[in-house]
Chains A and B, each alone.
Chain A
Amino acid sequence: MAVPFPLALSRRQLLQHAAALGLTFSLPAMEARAANRRGAERPMSLITLWMQGGPSQLETWDPHPGTAIGGPTQAIATTIPGLEIASLLPRMAEVMHHTSVIRSLVSKEGDHERGSYHVLTGYRPDPTVVHPSVGAVLAHELPGKGVEIPPHVSLAGGAGFTLPRGGYLGDEYDAFRIYEPGRGLVNMRSRVGDDRTTRRRDGLDVVERAFRTGREQQIKETLHQHMVERAVAMMSSEQLAAFDFDKEPAAVVAGYGASRFGRGCLVARRLVQTGVRSVQVVLDGFDTHTDNFEGCKTQAALLDPAFSSLLKDLVVHDLLASTIVLCIGEFGRTPRINPLDGRDHWPSGFSCVIAGGGLKAGGVVGATDPTGAKREPERPVTVGDLYSTIYTAMSVDPAKEINTPIGRPIKICEGQVIRELMG
Chain B
Amino acid sequence: MRLPAVIAPLAVVAAVLGVTGYAVQAPVSNRPLPSSEPSQLTETVQRLNALLVENWSAHGLAPAEPADDLTILRRLTLAIVGTVPSLEEIRRFEKDTRPDRLAHWTAGLLEDVRFHDYFAERLARAYVGVEGGQFIVFRRDRFTDWLSEQLRKHRPYDGIVRDLIATDGVWTDKPAVNFISAAYSNDAFDENKLAGRTVRAFLGQRIDCAQCHDHPFAHWKQAEFEGLAACFGKTRMSIVGVDDGRKEPFEVEDRKTLVKRQVEPAVPFGAEWMPSTGDPRERLAAWVTNPDNRRLDRAIANRVWGLIFGKPFLTERPVDDLPDPDEADADGQNQILDVLADDFRAHNRDLRRLVQVIAASQAFRADSRAASSGSGSSGSCRWETFPLVRLRPEQVVGSMLQASTIRTIDRNSHLLTRALRFSRERDFVEDFGDPGENELGERVGTVPQALLRMNGNLQNDLVQPNPFNATTRIANDAEDPAGCVEVAYLVCLTRRPTPEEAEHFAKEIAGRPKKEREQAVADLMWTLFNSTEFSWNH
Contacts and interface: CB of A to CB of B under 8 A. Distances in A.
Contact of A203 (B200, B208, B387, B508): B508
A171 B200 CA distance: 23
A228 B132 contact: no
B369 interface: yes
Nearest to B183: A127
Contacts of B536: 222, 224
A190 B455 CA distance: 5
A210 B441 contact: no
A214 B444 contact: no
A227 B450 contact: yes
Nearest to B505: A203
Interface string A169-195: 011101011000000001111111000
Interface residues of A, number: 58
A214 B374 CA distance: 10
Interface string B14-56: 0000000000000000000000000000000000000000000
Interface in A116-156: 126-128, 130, 150
Contacts of B535: 224
Given A199-B523, A234-B447, A405-B442, A207 B528 contact: yes
Nearest to A214: B369
Given A127-B193, A127-B196, A210-B500, A187 B369 contact: no
Contact of A215 (B388, B448, B530): B388
Contact of B454 (A127, A190, A199, A223): A190
B185 A218 contact: no
Contacts of A294: none
A227 B388 contact: no
A111 B134 contact: yes
Interface string A217-229: 1110111110110
A131 B498 CA distance: 45
A29 interface: no
Contacts of B321: 406
Contacts of A174: 433, 446, 448
B414 to A, nearest CB: 27
B377 A128 contact: no
Nearest to B209: A408
Given A127-B193, A207-B527, A222-B390, A191 B451 contact: no
Contacts of B464: 191
B435 A200 contact: no
A172 B369 contact: no
Given A127-B193, A199-B523, A227 B454 contact: no
Nearest to B436: A130
A110 B527 contact: no
Contacts, number: 162
Contact of A225 (B378, B456, B532): B532
A271 to B, nearest CB: 15
Contacts of B293: none
A223 B131 contact: no
Interface in B507-537: 508, 519, 523-524, 526-528, 530-533, 535-536
B69 interface: no
A225 B532 CA distance: 7
Contacts of B368: 215, 218
- Interface size grouping (class) on chain B: 35 or more
Contacts of A111: 134, 185-186
A282 to B, nearest CB: 16
A33 B444 CA distance: 29
Contacts of A203: 504-505, 508, 523-524, 527
Contacts of A219: 388, 532
B370 A214 contact: yes
A114 B531 contact: no
B460 A191 contact: yes
Given A111-B134, A196-B519, A406-B206, A222 B369 contact: no
A221 B318 CA distance: 20
Nearest to A203: B527
A189 B457 CA distance: 11
B390 to A, nearest CB: 7
A172 B448 CA distance: 9
Contact of B498 (A208, A210, A223): A210
Nearest to B444: A223
Contacts of B208: 126-128
B339 to A, nearest CB: 27
A160 B132 contact: yes
A224 B206 CA distance: 32
Interface in A90-118: 109-111, 113-114
A204 interface: yes
Nearest to B387: A218
Contact of B501 (A177, A206, A221, A224): A206
A199 B508 contact: yes
B320 to A, nearest CB: 9
B443 interface: yes
A128 B197 CA distance: 9
Interface of A: 109-111, 113-114, 126-128, 130, 150, 159-161, 170-172, 174, 176-177, 186-192, 196, 199-200, 203-204, 206-211, 213-219, 221-225, 227-228, 230-231, 234-235, 405-406, 408
27 contacts: A111-B134, A126-B208, A130-B438, A159-B430, A161-B131, A171-B445, A177-B448, A186-B456, A187-B452, A187-B454, A188-B451, A188-B455, A199-B523, A200-B523, A206-B504, A206-B505, A208-B531, A217-B378, A218-B388, A221-B377, A221-B378, A225-B532, A228-B454, A231-B447, A234-B447, A235-B455, A408-B209
Given A206-B500, A222-B444, 4 more contacts: A171-B446, A172-B447, A214-B373, A408-B209
8 A-B pairs with the lowest CB-CB distances in the bound complex, closest first: A217-B376, A214-B369, A231-B450, A203-B527, A224-B532, A187-B451, A227-B445, A187-B455
